[in-house]
Amino acid sequence: MADLCVRAPAKINLHLEVLGLRPDGFHELAMVMQSIDLADRLWLRPSADGQISLRCDQPELPTDGTNLIVRAAELLRARSGLVELGAELVLEKRIPIGAGLAGGSSNGAAALVGLNALWGLGFRAEALQAMAAELGSDMPFCLDGGTQFCFGRGERLEPLELEAPLKLALLLVKHPQVSVSTPWAYGRCQALRGDFYLQTEGEFEQRRQALRQGPLSQSLLRGLVQSTPLPPLRNDLQALVEAEVESVRQGLALLRQAQPLVEQPLVEQPLAVAMSGSGPSLFALFPSLERAQAAHAALADELEQGGFGAWCCSFSSRGVSLER
């Protein structure tokens, strides 16, 4: 059988609201997630020796049983009952590691989709979603992608019924030497804001409904974001991380200062600036990729001086997908 390739896109959070604690110890969340076209690629080929092996072009990424790709492969094989199945997996890593962009979750979702096809298992989408939810809170979204409400710990999905796919673009920045622990970020949130957490399912549902009917959702649903600024994007972890991480403070200040310049007429103030997930990736939204690229050019010297990596990306309407 020929090699298969699965495209695994990153995500950003357009809204991240921490509602309270769940009985299982996870936080109850209300989010809007959005796929972007910055993507890894996972190559797969069958292995006759029954082994599951993973290699990556970035040596700092673990490729043992702690990697979500390997965990997804082992879970899928176990559910199939075919213990003799093996695969050689090679990851081309383009999404920054430890960045709040769900790169690891998207890679795991790619393994589920790719190996389901490679091994001819025939699991339906609902079964893959259930396995994804076992492996990680973001992984169900990474399977489907697009623009979605994500509730619970992130695994309960409600697609936004958009009139047309969103055409927005973003300038994404991250310091390559900085990462933020997601458990640390949520632990800080609980320590500093736990007294204000909601307690009941009824209160959680009120906040979910407020998000469904709120100004951000209505702007997205009606396609108004191309011509009017977005309402401020909420991320309940941003202020906590910004207070502790210098590169997040510096990066947000740089993105917020993108202003029109006479010599660069395409540069305009971003529609919104925010941190994705628990950070430390930051983004500024623009109405087109051309505008995002112009902002990148205008800020290039300052971003380089600050040590930031930068990417210009577009919104995507798809999650992980087979390419060949």
Give residues with Cβ within 8 angstroms of 287, minimum separation 6.
Answer: 167, 168, 169, 225, 226, 227, 271
Statement to judge: residues 221 and 126 lie in one domain = no
Catalytic-role residue among 24, 37, 57, 138: 138
Tell me whether residue 269 is in a domain: yes
Task: Extract the tokens encoding 152.
Answer: 């619970």
Report yes or no on whether pTM surpasses 0.85: yes
pLDDT, mean over the chain: 93
What does the DSSP assignment read for 277-290?
TTSS-EEEEESSHH
Statement to judge: residues 46 and 70 lie in one domain = yes
Tell me whether residue 324 is in a domain: no
Has 195 been annotated as catalytic? no
Statement to judge: residues 248 and 290 lie in one domain = yes
* Chain Cα centroid distance, residue 2: 30
What is the bridge-based pairing of β-strands 87-92 and 147-152? unpaired
User: Mind listing the pLDDT tens digit for each residue in 43-57?
Assistant: 999 998 999 999 999
Domain end marker among 138, 162, 186: 162
The pLDDT of residue 196 is above 80: yes
Total count of domains within the chain = 2
- pLDDT at residue number 265: 53
- CATH assignment of the domain containing 269: 3.30.70.890
Lowest mean pLDDT among 69-73, 201-205, 209-213, 228-232: 228-232
- pLDDT at residue number 257: 82
The pLDDT of residue 259 is above 90: no
What does the DSSP assignment read for 25-69?
SSEEEEEEEEEEEEEEEEEEEE-TTS-EEEEESSTTS--STTSHH
Domain end marker among 146, 162, 178: 162
Statement to judge: residues 173 and 147 lie in one domain = no
Give residues with Cβ within 8 angstroms of 192, minimum separation 6.
Answer: 240
The pLDDT of residue 219 is above 50: yes
SS3 17: strand
Statement to judge: residues 179 and 295 lie in one domain = yes
The pLDDT of residue 39 is above 70: yes
Statement to judge: residues 134 and 188 lie in one domain = no
Statement to judge: residues 158 and 187 lie in one domain = no
CB 197 within 8 A of CB 21: yes
The pLDDT of residue 232 is above 60: yes
CB 34 within 8 A of CB 298: no
User: Mind listing the pLDDT tens digit for each residue in 117-173?
Assistant: 999 999 999 999 999 999 999 999 999 999 999 999 999 999 998 888 888 999 999
CA–CA dist 179, 311 (Å, integer): 17
**Most confident region among 165-169, 241-245, 256-260 by mean pLDDT:** 241-245
Give residues with Cβ within 8 angstroms of 293, minimum separation 6.
Answer: 312
CA–CA dist 29, 151 (Å, integer): 5
Statement to judge: residues 111 and 154 lie in one domain = yes
Confidence band of 113 (pLDDT split at 50, 70, 90): very high
Has 11 been annotated as catalytic? yes
Q: 149: domain range? A: 4-162
- CATH assignment of the domain containing 45: 3.30.230.10
SS3 123: coil
Domain end marker among 111, 137, 162: 162
- pLDDT at residue number 164: 82
